Homo-oligomer: A and B are copies of this chain.
Amino acid sequence: MHKNDLDTPYVLIDLDKMEINLATMQANADSAGVSLRPHTKTHKMPILAHKQMDAGAIGITVAKLGEAEVMAAGGIKDILIAYPIIGEQKIDRLIRLAKQTNIIVAVDSYEAASAISRAASRDSNCQVGIAVEIDCGFKRVGVGPGDPALDLAKKIVQLPGIRFRGITTFAGHSYDTVNDKQLHDISAHEGHTAVETAHLLRENGIAVDIISVGSTPSAKYAAQIPGVTEIRPGTYIFGDIMQVANRAHLLQNCALTVKVTVISRPSADRAVVDAGTKVFTSDGDDSPFGTGRGYVVERPSLVLSWLTEEHGMVIVPPEHQDLAIGDTLEIIPIHACAVVNMVDEIAAVRDGKVEAIWPVWGRGKVR
């Protein structure tokens, strides 16, 4: 089957580009002497987690327990859940999962750690890894670095049924930098903050084997900080306009596109395509290239100017007046992770041929 035979809207992955991305990030990690534990929330597919493991990753990261269950069911054996697990129903599921698979949960409270400990210690076959999440400036979750993290870690290491593993952090503010210096500074701070907190724990007799930092934009710089043991980038596997805007991905290596069809040509300067926010989402700022809510491959002077749920409104410049109802376009989205979450399957394409249709088993696993 050729990609032209796929009805639209359809999310496509260019396998050649994806393989470049996989190899490049693994090489970055290898050359920095750190492990790669990719965040699989970007693709949500066990098949791609296995490709990341085959390329050299030591395990994976997921955003939610439901994603961990999908990845474990897909045969992945080492999973960091970068999210506090709160509530009895989720802790029951976590314990079941930890009996099949090596699990680490990043927590930022004694409440979270102690509830896991209580459940895990009721079951002699279960040991759950725990990491302490620290806030390196993003102001999302995480305890403060230094003493607050030490205080929490001291309590956690006393708990039965769990194994303390180390420190995680995530510099989400690395997504909004305006130049390389700022990105470098945030990334270096992320790494240093994690390493310094880990040293403090070790000085207090607490074994720390993981010092884990996150994010595709910050990965390159944070990996260079001595002491960091692993990086958790996610979006690098596909890339998107948000990452290109962050100078963290090359436009020509963006592997994920949305194939769309022109369904209306209401006037010479306007076209409407058959995907809106239900595929592209409303996430993120417009493209820095002036191309709006995405980037039209091969016709980059088209502007995807605004979206409603099922419509994408395109400004058509004079040189693209040939654009007609029924024509198809491929558009790089602003935020690839979010796009994958909107669809039930994606097409893996090489040289125009559809090599596979993959189910997005991790889609919508918000619990």
Report how far A263 CA is from B8 CA in the complex, Å: 38
So how many copies of this chain end up in the complex? Answer: 2
Given the interface pairs A87-B7, A135-B266, A366-B275, the reply to whether A140 lies near B313 with Cβ below 8 Å is yes
The one of B41, B282, B367 that contacts A8, using a Cβ cutoff of 8 Å: B367
Residues of B within 8 A of A64 (CB): 310
Given A109-B265, A341-B278, A343-B366; A63-B141 close (CB under 8 Å): no
Task: Check A264 against B109 for contact (C-beta < 8 Å).
Answer: yes
Which one of A10, A140, A337 has the greatest number of beta carbons of chain B within 10 Å? A140
* Given A7-B90, A109-B325, A364-B343, residue A141 in contact with residue B278 (CB < 8 A): no
A68 CA / B280 CA spacing, docked (Å):
22
Assess whether A28 is interfacial by the CB under 8 Å rule: no
CB-based nearest B residue for A138: B308
Tell me how many residues of A have a C-beta within 8 Å of chain B.
57
CA distance A94 to B327 in the complex (A): 20
A282 vs B285: C-alpha distance in the bound complex, in angstroms? 11
Contacting residues, chain B, for A366 (C-beta < 8 A): 9, 274-275, 278-279, 310, 342-343
Smallest CB–CB gap between A131 and chain B, Å?
Answer: 14
Kindly state whether residue A221 has any CB partner on chain B within 8 Å: no
For residue A16, CB closer than 8 A to chain B, the reply is: no
Q: Which of A111, A140, A172, A366 has the most C-beta atoms of chain B within 10 angstroms of its own C-beta?
A: A366
Known: A342-B364, A342-B366. A172 touches B263 (CB 8 A): no
Residues of chain B within 8 A of A341, CB atoms compared:
278, 309, 342
Q: Which of A318-367 contact B (CB under 8 A)?
A: 325-326, 337-338, 341-344, 364, 366-367
Interchain residue pairs with CB less than 8 A apart (22): A9-B367, A10-B367, A63-B309, A86-B261, A86-B325, A108-B266, A109-B265, A109-B325, A112-B325, A135-B266, A139-B266, A139-B270, A140-B272, A141-B264, A143-B266, A274-B366, A278-B338, A309-B338, A309-B341, A342-B364, A342-B366, A343-B366
